[in-house]
């Protein structure tokens, strides 16, 4: 965090310096001093563009260098997202500067602070709302982890893998965040499944399996009223559908399965294979990718599998939680069968 704060402050210093040089070179100081508002507006507009260009260049550069984002996507959309708020707040600042030098004096200039204060209040409300969203998701995930100890940490890792796939597919940051929520909450419906079934060590009966296969519908019902989740709700409902139509709960096939659900399905299967369980060892990442490729086209969307493979080749796999407990499961004796588990 300290290094990130230094970087952000340095970005702003460089952007302000470049914008000020551009504004001065165009005679912006004189136009403001003389209260020539149309001319001052042009100089300020150029300064805002320069400011946004510098921030965009630095933001895209750090994404391409440190986050290994492809160059074709590192700067995509950054300039527009940077320029919009700068233009709005820059106009307010320009109005204050012109009014300050006008016959109306500083008192009139201070009136500009009222809409700026309203803007700050609205942003603070938005920030508090996002914090509440995160707290809601965290509480739901903790409840699932407590109920199903076999998959502790699974939700967070699926969210991480989902985010990697979404970014590799070139989705914008807002949609990447929604899909991360989908990955984190994909198993929230297990809260509606009896605990004895989730923790059963032996094979499941057909009736028990049917009960467990209701968890996507339970999950969808639980989050249906949470508006900020957007398309994540469809991913929660359909992440066990298969391309060939043999999945559940509705047996959808091909493009009828929402794209977000196809992303989560690959991330879910990948983490299930690469995480240790009490009844089996984790598979190495290359083995898990081979299995995903083998099932691509029938069970998984090949496009999502390819995107995950590319993301892993670029970033590696370094989840915050790598196993469900600290014990390494002992190999099963020859001729024995590992106990079946509930479907992921």
Active site residue 190: yes
Q: How much is the average pLDDT of 123-131?
A: 83
Per-domain boundaries in the chain: 2-114, 127-315
pLDDT in tens, 288-337: 999 999 999 999 999 999 999 999 998 889 876 544 443 333 333 333 33
Give the contacts of 111 (CB within 8 A, at least 6 positions apart).
99
Query: Tell me, what's the pLDDT at 235?
Result: 95
Residue 89 clears pLDDT 90, i.e. is over it = no
CATH of domain 127-315: 1.10.3210.10
Which residue is listed with tokens 């096939």? 253
Token reading at 165 = 């796939």
Give 151 or 328, the one with higher predicted confidence. 151
pLDDT in tens, 6-22: 999 999 999 999 999 99
Residue 99 clears pLDDT 70, i.e. is over it = yes
Q: How much is the average pLDDT of 159-174?
A: 90
Average pLDDT value over all residues in the chain: 83
Give 244 or 113, the one with higher predicted confidence. 244
Query: Tell me, what's the pLDDT at 148?
Result: 72
Q: How much is the average pLDDT of 255-282?
A: 88
Query: Tell me, what's the pLDDT at 320?
Result: 61
d(CA 161, CA 340): 25
Torsion of CA 276, 281, 287, 288, to 10 degrees: -30
Nearest to 242, CA basis, from 99, 343, 147, 134 = 343
Residue 343 clears pLDDT 50, i.e. is over it = no
- Set 157, 186, 190, 239: catalytic member: 190
Share of the chain above pLDDT 70, in %: 90
Residue 131 clears pLDDT 90, i.e. is over it = no
């Amino acid at each position: 965090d300290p290094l990130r704060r230094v970087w952000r402050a340095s970005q702003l210093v460089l952007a302000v310096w470049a914008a000020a040089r551009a504004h001065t070179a165009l005679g912006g100081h004189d136009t403001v001093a003389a209260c020539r508002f149309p001319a001052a507006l042009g100089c300020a507009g150029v300064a805002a563009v320069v400011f946004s260009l510098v921030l965009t260049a630095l933001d895209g550069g750090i994404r391409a260098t440190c986050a290994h984002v492809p160059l074709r996507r590192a700067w995509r959309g950054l300039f527009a997202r940077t320029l919009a708020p700068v233009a709005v707040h820059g106009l307010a600042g320009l109005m204050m500067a012109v009014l300050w030098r006008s016959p109306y004096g500083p008192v009139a200039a201070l009136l500009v602070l009222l809409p700026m204060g309203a803007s700050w209040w609205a942003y603070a409300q938005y920030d508090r709302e996002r914090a509440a969203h995160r707290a809601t998701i965290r509480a739901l995930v903790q409840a699932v982890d407590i109920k199903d100890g076999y998959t502790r940490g699974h939700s967070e890792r699926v969210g991480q893998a989902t985010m990697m796939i979404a970014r590799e597919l070139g989705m914008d940051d807002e949609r990447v965040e929604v899909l991360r929520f989908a990955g984190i909450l994909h198993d929230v419906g297990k809260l509606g499944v009896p605990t004895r079934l989730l923790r059963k060590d032996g094979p499941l009966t057909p009736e028990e399996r049917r009960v467990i296969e209701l968890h996507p519908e339970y999950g969808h019902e639980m989050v249906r009223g949470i508006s900020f989740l957007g398309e994540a709700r469809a991913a929660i409902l359909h992440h066990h559908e298969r391309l060939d139509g043999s999945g559940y709960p509705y047996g959808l096939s091909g493009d009828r399965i929402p794209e977000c659900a196809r992303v989560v399905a690959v991330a879910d299967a990948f983490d299930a294979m690469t995480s240790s369980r009490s009844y089996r060892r984790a598979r190495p990442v290359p083995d898990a990718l081979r299995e995903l490729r083998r099932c691509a086209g029938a069970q998984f969307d090949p496009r999502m599998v390819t995107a995950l493979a590319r993301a892993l080749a670029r970033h590696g796999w370094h989840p915050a939680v790598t196993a469900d407990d600290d014990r390494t499961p002992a190999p099963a004796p020859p001729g024995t069968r590992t106990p079946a588990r509930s479907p992921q």
